[in-house]
Amino acid sequence: MGGPESLFVPGAATAGPVGDRELRVSDAEREHVGQLLQRAVGLGMLSLGEFTERMDTALAAKTRGELNAVLVDLPGMRVAGTPQPAAMPRPRHIPVPPGGSNPNAIRSRLSGVHRRGPWQVPPVLHLNNLMSSVTLDFTEAVMQTQIVEIQVDDYCTSLTVLVPAAATVDLNGLDLVGSSANNKVRTGPPIGPLHLVVHGRVRFGSVTAKYPLMVQWRRFLGS
C-alpha cells in the first residue's frame, strides 16, 4: 500500500532497438555509393545499363539496408557498418525516350556529344546521358518554336548550352543530386527569338548555360 504504481503506456514497450539496416542514410552516403558504382563500371563488374538502374535505386534509398542492396554482389563494396543484405530488390525501371533514329532525343554513354551549326531543334528535346560531355550550341540552330523544352535525365554528365545574345534560359526546374547548375544568361521572360526551359534530374553532373565567347567579349566591351 502506498507504494509507487507503474504507469502503462500502450505501445511503449513494443518498440525495439533499431538495427543497422534500418538506419537512415544521408546524401553523402548515397553519393559515396554512386562513386562505388562508377568504380564497378570501370572494373568491368557492371554494364552501363546495370549502373543506371542501380544508381537510381541508390538515390531513392532511405535506409542502409536499401542502399547496400545495390552493392550486394560487388565484392568489397558496401556502406560501412551494415551487414550484407540477403537479396537485392529489383531496381525501379525508368522509361527513357529512345535515341539513335529519334531526332527528339540525345542518348549517350561514355561519349562526347556536340550539336552545332544549323541543326534542327524540336520543340521538346529529351536528354539521357551517362558519364558523357554534351554541348548544345543554339547560335546557328534552326528552331521550330520560340520556346524549346529540354527534358534532362542525366548521370555523371556535364551539359553545356550555348545561346545567341538575345536568348533566355530557365534552369529553375532542375532537380539536382550532387550536381550544379550555372546560368550565365538572362532567365526570362522570353523576349528574344529563343527561350530554353531546362528541367528534369541531374545526378552527379553539371548544367551550364552561357553565351559564346564572342558574345561575352562584346558585352565586356559594351558593344
187 and 130 belong to one structural domain: yes
How many C-beta atoms surround the C-beta of residue 68 within 10 A? Answer: 24
36 and 136 belong to one structural domain: no
Mean pLDDT of the chain: 79
Residue found by looking up cell 532497438 in the block: 17
215 and 124 belong to one structural domain: yes
- Mean pLDDT confidence for 200-220: 79
Q: 188: domain range? A: 105-221
Could you tell me if residue 81 is inside a domain? no
What does the pLDDT read at residue 16? 57
- Above 60 in pLDDT, residue 137? yes
49 and 129 belong to one structural domain: no
Check residues 197 and 4 and name the one with the higher pLDDT: 197
66 and 132 belong to one structural domain: no
Tell me the pTM.
0.61
- Above 70 in pLDDT, residue 218? no
- Structural domain count, the chain: 2
Least confident residue range of 92-106, 116-130, 154-168, 184-198: 92-106
89: preceding bond cis by omega (within 30 degrees): no
Q: Which letter does DSSP use for residue 177 in this model?
A: E
Could you tell me if residue 12 is inside a domain? no
113 and 200 belong to one structural domain: yes
Residue found by looking up cell 543530386 in the block: 177
C-alpha cell at 4: 509507487
119 and 59 belong to one structural domain: no
- Mean pLDDT confidence for 28-37: 83
- Mean pLDDT confidence for 173-193: 88
Could you tell me if residue 32 is inside a domain? yes
Torsion of CA 10, 14, 16, 18, to 10 degrees: -70
Could you tell me if residue 99 is inside a domain? no
Please name the residue ranges forming H helices in the chain: 27-42, 48-60, 64-68, 213-221
Could you tell me if residue 87 is inside a domain? no
Could you tell me if residue 16 is inside a domain? no
Residue type, 54: R
- Cross-strand bridge partners of residue 63: 24
215 Cβ contact partners less than 8 Å away, ≥ 6 residues apart: 164, 165
150 within 8 A of 196, measured Cβ to Cβ: yes
43 and 118 belong to one structural domain: no
Q: Which letter does DSSP use for residue 24 in this model?
A: B
Could you tell me if residue 41 is inside a domain? yes
57 and 112 belong to one structural domain: no
143 and 215 belong to one structural domain: yes
161 Cβ contact partners less than 8 Å away, ≥ 6 residues apart: 136, 138, 150, 169, 196, 198, 207, 208, 209, 210
Q: Which of 19, 43, 70 is the last residue of a domain?
A: 70
123 and 44 belong to one structural domain: no
Distances (CA, A) of 144 to 42, 125, 130, 219: 40, 12, 28, 28
C-alpha cell at 134: 554534351
* Burial tier of 124 (Cβ tally within 10 Å: 0-12, 13-18, 19+): middle
